[in-house]
Amino acid sequence: MEETNKALVRRFVEAQAERDLDALEEMLAPDFVNHSVPPGQEPDREGYLGREGYLRGVTEEWTAFSDFRYVIEDQAAEADKVITRATVSAIHDRGKVLSFAPTGREIETTYISIHRIVGGKIAEEWTEGGGMLELTKHQLEQEMRERERIEQELLVARRIQQASLPKGVPELEGWQITPYYQPAREVGGDFYEFFELEDGRVGVVVGDATGKGMPAALMAEATSNMLRAVAQALGSSSPSEVLARVNETLLARIPSNMFVTCFYAILDPKSASLSYANAGHDLPYVWHGGNADELRARGMPLGLMSEMGYEEKETVLDAGDGALFYSDGLVEAHDPKGEMFGFPRLRALVAEHAEKESLEEVLLEELYSFVGEGWEQEDDITLVTLRCSAPLS
């Protein structure tokens, strides 16, 4: 009898996996009682589910899940009772679980059940675990709470990052400085900074920490603060010296899988000279007379190697000239066919539209036209334009 009862329970489990409602109805006794009422399901009688309520719960699982698989790990029988330990898995891809839409995820759980057999029918059931609806609801609620927690932390981080960006731009007679910043996520790895130096000179920084999200944002903030502190402490007119010092400082603090690209320039508004050094960042463009030329200077990104040297160069801007500093989020954007916006396109646009007051707006309009509707921003976008209307000297 005990082996017969165990075989009945195995057929009962197989019928649930095969979504065979007729077989389940055949095996359940007319006065069947389920003593383990799943949360969210109303009992048919005091604290219990009867036959109809039990079958209703099973069909609700079938409407929400597909690909049911049951593996009986162990069985034991004594007198009229069968104890079964089994693992069940299914994919939540058909219907809602309470208010949660299908996720496409596979859910797996192990449960223990006790069935009492009377006259070759299943008369009673006790189950610990194994409710797919309740398990999925529980997991999704946990994920939702975790997602809300992360979103709240990212909101705070974004506010902190926005607060750390320059509140304004230097007001220099004969000069116009315009920044634009749009992270790809709540927080990003791009940064820009302006700071006053000796003799009325101004430091201009644009950089990009590898990666996205919180780690990149923290590294961007740390690097920006280091650049300001080192430049102002040295009182140096040498961008290459500042980058070399920051590189050594950053090496002791940066994770091994990260680095920071950075372009650092010092503007003397009186002489209109722009001295600069580059730590592996995308080459800025300077425009004059309808041409757009690259500001080239050799140098490795910050935080990669010790004792790095940085080439330093200088250019002089005339009235009507200017420079565009940017991050790779613009040039590496892709259209629906996978084509990249690219450096040649950007250079041509700068040459054609640089003399307009709203170069940033022109570039963004061209970008959005290029990527099309429904574009998901891939990387942070930073633009800083520097225009000379008339130097002081």
Instruction: Give pLDDT tens digits along the chain (393 positions).
Output: 889 999 999 999 999 989 999 999 999 999 999 988 766 666 766 767 888 888 988 888 888 888 888 899 999 999 999 999 998 888 888 887 666 678 788 888 888 999 999 999 999 999 887 565 555 666 666 767 777 777 776 676 667 666 667 778 888 888 999 999 888 765 568 889 998 888 889 999 999 988 777 788 888 888 998 999 999 888 767 999 999 999 999 988 888 888 999 999 999 999 999 999 999 999 999 998 778 999 999 999 999 999 999 999 999 998 889 999 999 989 999 999 999 999 999 999 999 887 776 888 899 999 999 998 888 888 889 999 999 887 665
Q: What is the model's pLDDT at position 312?
A: 96
CATH number of 2-139: 3.10.450.50
Q: CB-based burial of residue 359 (10 Å sphere; 0-12 exposed, 13-18 middle, 19+ buried)? A: buried
What residue spans in the chain does CATH classification 3.60.40.10 cover? 165-388
- CA proximity to 271, closest of 318, 321, 231, 205: 318
pTM of the model: 0.63
Q: Is the four-CA dihedral 230, 253, 206, 157 of positive or negative sign? A: negative
Q: What is the model's pLDDT at position 342?
A: 95
Q: What is the model's pLDDT at position 254?
A: 87
CATH of 165-388, one of 3.60.40.10, 3.40.50.970, 3.90.420.10, 2.102.10.10: 3.60.40.10
CA distance 344 to 296: 16
What residue spans in the chain does CATH classification 3.10.450.50 cover? 2-139
Q: What is the model's pLDDT at position 348?
A: 93
CA distance 388 to 159: 32
| 266: CB partners within 8 A, 6+ apart | 197, 201, 202, 203, 204, 237, 239, 274, 275, 276
Residue position matching structure tokens 């592996």: 280
Q: What is the model's pLDDT at position 136?
A: 60
- CA proximity to 382, closest of 323, 331, 330: 330
CA distance 175 to 200: 13
Q: What is the model's pLDDT at position 5?
A: 93
Q: β-strand 121-128 against 28-34: which pairing, if any?
A: parallel
- CA proximity to 183, closest of 149, 210, 158: 158
